[in-house]
Amino acid sequence: MKQFQIAIIGQGRSGRDIHGLHLKKDTERFRVAAVVEKLEKRRNRAAEEYGCPVFDDYTELFQMKDQIDLVVNSTPSHLHYAITKDLLSHGMNVLCEKPCVPTVEEFDDLCRTAEENNCRFLVFQQSRFANYFLKVKEVIASGKLGRIVHIGIQFNNYARRWDWQCCLEYNGGNLANTGPHPLDQALNLLDDYDGDPQIFCKMDRCNTFGDAEDYVKLILCAPDRPLIDLDISSCDAFPCYTYKVEGTRGTLRGTMGHMDWKYFKEEEAPEQHLIKTPLFVDEEQMPAYCGEKLIWHEESWDGDPQAPFIAAVQTYYDQVYELLLNGRPHDIKLYQVRQQLDVIRKCHEMNPQIQIGGRAQ
**What is the amino acid identity at position 310?**
I
Residue 360 has pLDDT above 70, yes or no: no
Where would I find the beta strands (DSSP E) of 274-328?
297-302
pLDDT per residue as tens digits for the range 225-270: 999 999 999 998 999 899 999 999 999 999 999 999 999 999 999 9
Supply φ then ψ for residue 336, to 5 degrees. Answer: -75, -40
> pLDDT at position 289, please?
85
Supply φ then ψ for residue 73, to 5 degrees. Answer: -95, 95
Q: Residues 153-182: what's their mean pLDDT?
A: 89
Neighbouring residues of 236: CB distance < 8 A, sequence distance ≥ 6: 154, 156, 157, 158
Return d(Cα 294, Cα 249) in angstroms, integer. 10
Q: Indicate the pLDDT class of residue 163, thresholds 50, 70 and 90.
A: confident
- Ramachandran region of residue 144, left (φ > 0), alpha (ψ -120 to 50) or beta? alpha
Q: Judge contact between 19 and 74, C-beta under 8 A.
A: yes
pLDDT per residue as tens digits for the range 16-48: 999 999 999 999 999 999 999 999 999 999 999
Cis peptide preceding 197, ω within 30 of 0: no
* Domains present along the chain, CATH in parentheses: 4-123 (3.40.50.720), 128-260+297-310+338-358 (3.30.360.10)
Q: Residues 286-302: what's their mean pLDDT?
A: 90
Count CB-CB contacts under 10 A for residue 68.
18
Angstrom CA distances, 77 to 12, 14, 98, 219, stand at 12, 11, 7, 25
Q: Judge contact between 77 and 49, C-beta under 8 A.
A: no
In the predicted model, what is the mean pLDDT of the chain?
A: 93
**HSE-CB for 200 with a 13 A CA cutoff:** 6
Q: Could you tell me which residues are beta bridge partners of residue 154? A: 231
Q: pTM to 2 decimals?
A: 0.92
Q: Judge contact between 208 and 233, C-beta under 8 A.
A: no
Residue 358 has pLDDT above 70, yes or no: no
Return d(Cα 259, Cα 243) in angstroms, integer. 9
